[in-house]
Structure 1
Amino acid sequence: MSSSFNVDVDARQKRTAGWKEYLSIARLDHATKHIFILPGILLALVLRGVHTGNVTLTVILGVIVAVCIASANYTINEYLDRETDKHHPTKSARAAVQMELRGSWVFIQWLAFVVVGVLAAYAASSTMLIVALLFAAQGVVYNVRPLRTKDVAYLDVLSEAVNNPFRLMIGWAMIDPLTLPPSSIILAYWFGGAFLMGSKRLSEYREITASHGKDLLTRYRRSFSGYTEISLVTSILVYAIFSMSFLSIFLIKYRIEYILALPAITMLFAKYLALSMLPGSTAQKPERLFEERGLLTIVALVVALFVAFTFIDLPGFDALASQRFIAIGS
Structure 2
Amino acid sequence: MLKTYFHLLRIDQWVKNTFLFIPLFFAGDLFKSTKLLNLLIGFISFSLIASSIYIFNDYKDRENDRKHPKKKFRPIASGKVSTSIAFGIMTLCLIAGLSLGYFLDYRFIILLLIYLLINITYSLGLKRVAILDMIMVSSGFVIRVIAGGVIAGVPLSQWLIVMVYLLSLFIVLAKRRDDVYHYTVSGNLTRKSVTNYNLEYMTATLVLISGVIIVSYLMYCLSPNANIQSEHLYATSLFVISGILRYLQITIVDNKSGSPTRILYKDRFSMVNLILWVISFYIIIYTS
TM-score (norm 1): 0.75
- Is the Cα–Cα contact under 8 Å of residues 128 and 170 in structure 1 kept in the other structure? yes
Equivalent residue for 1:194, pick from 156, 164, 169: 169
- Is the Cα–Cα contact under 8 Å of residues 265 and 302 in structure 1 kept in the other structure? yes
Partner SS state of residue 103, structure 2 = helix
Gaps of at least 5 residues in structure 2 are none
Amino acid of the residue matched to residue 259 of structure 2? Answer: K
Identity fraction in percent? 20
Equivalent residue for 1:42, pick from 3, 22, 25: 25
Equivalent residue for 1:228, pick from 174, 185, 198: 198
- Is the Cα–Cα contact under 8 Å of residues 207 and 279 in structure 1 kept in the other structure? no
Q: Deviations over 1:149-198 (max 9, x none)?
A: 2212222222112222222233333421xx55223211210110010111
What is residue 205 of structure 1 aligned with on the other side? 180
Q: Deviations over 1:116-138 (max 9, x none)?
A: 21221110112322221222122
Equivalent residue for 1:64, pick from 44, 57, 68: 44
Amino acid of the residue matched to residue 92 of structure 2? Answer: A
Q: Relative to structure 1, is the Cα distance of residues 280 and 246 closer, same or farther in structure 2, using a 3 angstrom cutoff? A: closer
2:270 maps to 1:287: no
- Is the Cα–Cα contact under 8 Å of residues 28 and 285 in structure 2 kept in the other structure? no
1:33-182 matches, cutoff 5 A: 33-46=16-29, 54-99=34-79, 106-144=86-124, 148-176=125-153, 180-182=155-157
Q: Deviations over 1:250-297 (max 9, x none)?
A: 22222453222223211111111111235572x312232211111112
2:222 maps to 1:252: yes
Larger of the two Rg values belongs to structure: 1
Gaps of at least 5 residues in structure 1 are 1-17, 314-330
- Is the Cα–Cα contact under 8 Å of residues 161 and 197 in structure 1 kept in the other structure? yes
1:298-317 matches, cutoff 5 A: 298-310=273-285
2:40 maps to 1:32: no
- Is the Cα–Cα contact under 8 Å of residues 58 and 174 in structure 1 kept in the other structure? yes
Q: Which structure carries more helix by proportion? A: 2
CA distance in 1, matches of 2:15, 2:85: 26
The count of residues paired between Structure 1 and Structure 2 equals 282
CA distance in 2, matches of 1:149, 1:184: 28
Q: Give RMSD over aligned pairs.
A: 2.8
Q: Deviations over 1:13-52 (max 9, x none)?
A: xxxxx998666422223223333333233124459x96xx
Amino acid of the residue matched to residue 64 of structure 1? Answer: I
